[in-house]
Structure 1
Amino acid sequence: MILAAAEPGAIARAAQTLAAGELLGLPTETVYGLAADAGNDAAVDKIYVAKGRPADHPLIVHVAPGDAGGLPPALAHFAQDWPAWAEALIRRFWPGPLTLILPRRGAVGAKAAGGQDSIGLRCPSHPVAQAVFRAAAELGVAGVAAPSANQFGRVSPTTAAHVASEFGEGLLVLDGGACDVGIESTIVDATRGVPVLLRPGGISREQIEAVCGQPVRGKDELAADPRASGTLAAHYAPQASVRLMDAAALQAALQVLGTELDAAVDATPTVAVYARTALRSPSRRVLVRRMPADAAGAARELFAVLRELDATGVRLIWVEMPPSDDAWAGIRDRLQRAAAA
């Protein structure tokens, strides 16, 4: 059931749902999450079951912000002994689309952490999420485990309707509007002495390095990466097959394919194209959608467009490869994982 966040009593009902050990569809600025009390193992298990997610694949725990720019109170509940540069990142980018992998405190959040001795923490900037977390904290919920609210490996949701389409009417979904960022958070590992980028997102490597005052390592540069959300080689995939090509290869493929497609009697689109470059197709069976020229705009609509194109029933989605600069790193990452699936 979709419940508008602005409805009287909606925030309280959402917080009570979490405190009761039930699941909640929750908006954040990145994507919608499938939320549960991170301190309730039975509730966390419901996330794994609902998503079809392996139980050793860790979840990100979301916490309410601190007061007047202070550190979130739940930070010290879940984590301990974080480096000074990690705290600098927290003070600069929280609330916001940054997840930090930190040393976990004792047995706290072990189920959400997938049994690891580290835990992923994030403080979202979405006002609805913050209101729910604060209300839930008053009911004893210190933090909220909330992976993307979709079946494991599929396209992440950026609207309440996307979540409802994944899980049906049995799930309460709090509608906070479309997500502003549109792709999942940047993940930085802070457990190995130096910052390690595990997943690119809305906060760039350059921004992280500027705050840390040191280079950010890639996840392949050091051994023994912790497991983290959204880092599998194949992920974020629609039903249709995704293929990445440069603009020239896309145009050539459209020219070759056009005549063959139109030989069929059925005029239903078979191929969808999502590209920044203006492309021409001689076939009525090719559905063309323009990608925004700016990285922020492309990220904001990426998952929604993949879902929209997939819903047309096309078998193939051809996407123009994003630029190689750092601003597009998160979009490249999501598309490469979708294509790998």
Structure 2
Amino acid sequence: MSPRPNPPDAPSATLAVTEAQIERAAARLDAGELVAFPTETVYGLGGDATSPQAVARIYAAKGRPANHPVIVHLGPKGDPGYWVSELPADAQRLIDAFWPGPLTLILKRAAHIPAAVSGGQDSVGLRSPSHPVAQALLDAFDALRGGRAGVAAPSANRFGHVSPTTAQHVRDEFGDAVHVLDGGPSEVGIESTILDLSRGFPALLRPGRVTPLEIAEVLGVAPRLPDGGDATAPRASGTLKAHYAPRTPLALAPFEALEPLLSSARDSEARVALVARRSRAGAWADARDVLFVAAPEEPDAYARELYGMLRALDRSNVARILIEKLPDTPEWIAVNDRLGRAAAAFEAGSFRA
């Protein structure tokens, strides 16, 4: 099987943002300001990756712990070799196969790159997004910096909260405090796959659209999968136990375990939301006192709709969100990862942003 093609570019994306808007946004980055911009995964909150001051502004805006690294985004003309002490052959093979696209590589950071982007670690996360607006912005910024520019950009939301997949989601988080380029809805809908190559072997730190099988087909070896026991793994974006959480309490369980919770909610007159595939929901899909959300049956479609769905449920005046646990199969690994971290935010003792 050949590597999955990059997500298609939305036809309207290049029409919604003018060249003048791109140039002004690049000038903001050059001045040390922050710019939110679309990628094919989610919207990013970007700042000059070579400026510790700009990176600090990202952390402050998000309320992000200073030791939690951010990902450096490079344009199509960007040179990943500038950012790392060594570019291994495996990294180049993955770049050739999946860039531009939703794959982040963790590599050893070059000594001249500020440690701020890495949360103080000796590694750095790099990716090149495929969204045309992101590429135009990164290329314009790169031109201002003589081909040595990168944009540090975690998701454009408060730390730990649901990631944004539209410009309006970013405005809902930050109001007018952050300049936003509107490139339409994100095509993938969840964050990039993060693969660590900094320790001499491939290790998956965060699942995403690029799957372990696709990585294995390029490298000839399967990456190590996260099991909670890899004590030497570098810290990486979006890998805390509790993350991607709505503000409304959320529970994730097999559908059979949700039915008693639905019955209990009915008895207490507390309106709840049920998120499940229609093929599994049965009579609960038509229950008058349950807000039923029919989730997509296919993993990529589910991922694309997930964050928008959680944000809409936060506005729906329900006491609790109950979500059907999805199959424990490779094609659902990324969606299961995001749902599991969202649910963990409401477990006793877990971090909650």
- TM more than 0.5: yes
Distance verdict in 2 for CA 1:8–1:122, change over 3 Å? closer
The residue aligned with 1:112 is 117
Task: Give the distance between the partners of 1:132 and 1:270, measured in 2 at CA.
Answer: 44
The residue aligned with 2:252 is 244
What is the correspondence of 1:237-276 to structure 2 with a 5 Å cutoff? 237-261=245-269, 270-276=271-277
The residue aligned with 1:48 is 59
Contact 2:81–2:87 (Cα < 8 Å) also in 1: no
Query: Number of residues paired by the alignment?
Result: 326
Structure 1, residues 111-130: CA drift from partner, whole Å, max 9, x if none? 11111110000000101000
The residue aligned with 2:22 is 11
Structure 1 residue 283: Cα displacement: 5.1
- Provide runs of 4+ in structure 1 moved above 6 Å: none
The residue aligned with 2:289 is 285
Q: Which residue of 312, 334, 338 maps to 2:338?
A: 334
Distance verdict in 2 for CA 1:80–1:5, change over 3 Å? farther
Amino acid at match of 2:107: L
What is the correspondence of 1:187-206 to structure 2 with a 5 Å cutoff? 187-206=194-213
The residue aligned with 1:265 is none
RMSD value over aligned CA atoms?
A: 1.7
The residue aligned with 2:171 is 164
For the pair 1:23 / 2:31, whether they are aligned, the reply is no
Task: Give the distance between the partners of 1:338 and 1:113, measured in 2 at CA.
Answer: 24
Structure 1 residue 6: Cα displacement: 2.5
> TM-score scaled to structure 1, two decimals?
0.91
> TM-score scaled to structure 2, two decimals?
0.88
Contact 1:254–1:280 (Cα < 8 Å) also in 2: no
Structure 1 residue 279: Cα displacement: 3.5
Task: Give the distance between the partners of 2:66 and 2:204, measured in 1 at CA.
Answer: 23
Task: Give the distance between the partners of 2:245 and 2:174, measured in 1 at CA.
Answer: 17
Task: Give the distance between the partners of 2:260 and 2:67, measured in 1 at CA.
Answer: 44
Task: Give the distance between the partners of 1:171 and 1:327, measured in 2 at CA.
Answer: 35
Contact 1:78–1:109 (Cα < 8 Å) also in 2: no
Amino acid at match of 2:322: W
The residue aligned with 2:7 is none
Structure 1, residues 56-86: CA drift from partner, whole Å, max 9, x if none? 11000000124xxxxx42x011112232122
Higher mean Cα deviation, 250-259 or 14-23?
A: 250-259
Task: Give the distance between the partners of 2:197 and 2:160, measured in 1 at CA.
Answer: 25
Q: Secondary structure at the match of 2:301?
A: helix
Contact 1:19–1:139 (Cα < 8 Å) also in 2: yes
Structure 1 residue 49: Cα displacement: 0.3
Amino acid at match of 1:87: Q
For the pair 1:91 / 2:102, whether they are aligned, the reply is no
Q: Which residue of 135, 138, 151 maps to 1:133?
A: 138
Amino acid at match of 2:139: R
Contact 1:198–1:228 (Cα < 8 Å) also in 2: yes
Amino acid at match of 1:296: D
The residue aligned with 2:223 is 216
Contact 1:275–1:320 (Cα < 8 Å) also in 2: yes
Q: Secondary structure at the match of 2:281?
A: coil
The residue aligned with 1:61 is 72
Task: Give the distance between the partners of 1:54 and 1:332, measured in 2 at CA.
Answer: 25
Structure 1 residue 5: Cα displacement: 4.2
Q: Which residue of 134, 147, 150 maps to 2:157?
A: 150
Higher mean Cα deviation, 188-197 or 272-281?
A: 272-281
Task: Give the distance between the partners of 1:119 and 1:283, measured in 2 at CA.
Answer: 49
Contact 1:48–1:54 (Cα < 8 Å) also in 2: yes
Task: Give the distance between the partners of 1:223 and 1:155, measured in 2 at CA.
Answer: 27
Structure 1 residue 260: Cα displacement: 3.2
Higher mean Cα deviation, 54-63 or 132-141?
A: 132-141
Amino acid at match of 1:334: R
Q: Which runs of 5+ in 2 are unaligned?
A: 1-14, 346-353
Amino acid at match of 1:270: R
Task: Give the distance between the partners of 2:220 and 2:88, measured in 1 at CA.
Answer: 13
Structure 1 residue 209: Cα displacement: 0.9
